[in-house]
Amino acid sequence: MRNKIRQILWLLCCLPVLTGCIGEDDYANDPRGNFEQLWKIIDEQYCFLDTKGIDWDAVHDEYSKLIIPSMSNDDLFDILSQMLYILKDGHVNLSSASRISYYDAWYQGYPWNYREDILYNYYLGSANSGYRTSAGLKYKIFDNNIGYIRYESFSAGVGDGNLDEVLYYLQICNGLIIDVRDNGGGNLTNSSRIAARFTDKLALTGYIQHKTGPGHNDFSEMEPIYLEPSNSIRWQKKVVILTNRRCYSATNDFVNVMRSLNNDNEDKRIIQLGDQTGGGSGLPFSSELPNGWSVRFSASPHFDKYGKSLEDGIKPDVYVNMDKILEEGIEQGDIESQKKDPLIEKAFEILSE
């Protein structure tokens, strides 16, 4: 039962859309009614209004002026979407039968720090290059005896049998790289199941709060989240996790959980390398407008083991700008540098120390 909170978290995030327990008033199915209902849902249930310093009343005043009785559904959808973009939250979506709004500035405009052509052609290569697959995991042993795991989506199911197979194969390695770049999230169950292979004791990994009322600061006390170690094969050697800005939601959670396994009084055994993750720490819930459109939003804030919010992402221990390094290689006429992934090369250095 020590892991009860974590289990609840798993259950919630296994569902693609959750229905919030919202006491909804009756609003007319017209542009004004749908606007008012959406504004109210965010006002009472969204969990980061005060954290992000958003004056939601002022937003109401601004966007209320744009709502007119004769406007089309497309125009209404555009205006409501623009209003939601103010939240700057990739977990916030407005969905109709034919459209969905999506905020993506959490990764747009940042160095990509990932090149699939380099990764595939040079490190994974052809079928005889020595990389294997197990469920959603790709893995191999490099010539320097460093193990490598590539996990592209936490929506890809990974069972304990898969993890046993992978870790048994990699057990001879001196260190391990876990590459979750461009992993936009998915199922928190997979995040915890994998992380449980990297600890030998119960570990506090963070806290969660839940909304208890309509006020912007109506939250429960912080409830601790624990990770229990797996009863099967576990990895206790050094690990480097590769991240970029496109690591979001469950991937953000995974990075936090893995980093929390470090002992504060010892050198870090688990190191994050690359760029800051994209964030996305609020558990998403959903509700419905009078016209049937669905709105998804962050409802329960998540914190690290020190009580710090994870919504804006997690900064790396070692920052590497792959884009810049490759550009410098081109300027210097270094053809060989274009075949190498700077993040993996840096991970090799760290794991070979």
Q: What is the dihedral of CA 151, 152, 157, 159, to 10 degrees?
A: 0
CATH entry 3.40.190.10 includes domain 116-197+232-278+313-352: no
Distance CA 170, CA 68 (A): 62
pLDDT in tens, 97-145: 999 999 999 999 899 999 988 887 655 544 446 689 999 999 999 989 9
Per-domain residue ranges of the chain: 31-109, 116-197+232-278+313-352
The answer to whether 323 and 60 are in contact (CB under 8 A) is: no
pLDDT in tens, 257-286: 999 999 887 789 999 999 999 999 999 999
pLDDT in tens, 316-347: 999 999 999 988 888 888 777 788 999 999 99
Identify the pLDDT of residue 6: 47
pLDDT in tens, 6-48: 444 443 443 333 344 334 467 889 999 999 999 999 999 999 9
CA 155, 159, 164, 169 torsion-angle sign: negative
The answer to whether 123 and 341 are in contact (CB under 8 A) is: yes
* Lowest-pLDDT range of 54-68, 114-128, 211-225, 247-261: 114-128
The answer to whether 248 and 280 are in contact (CB under 8 A) is: yes
Reported pTM: 0.89
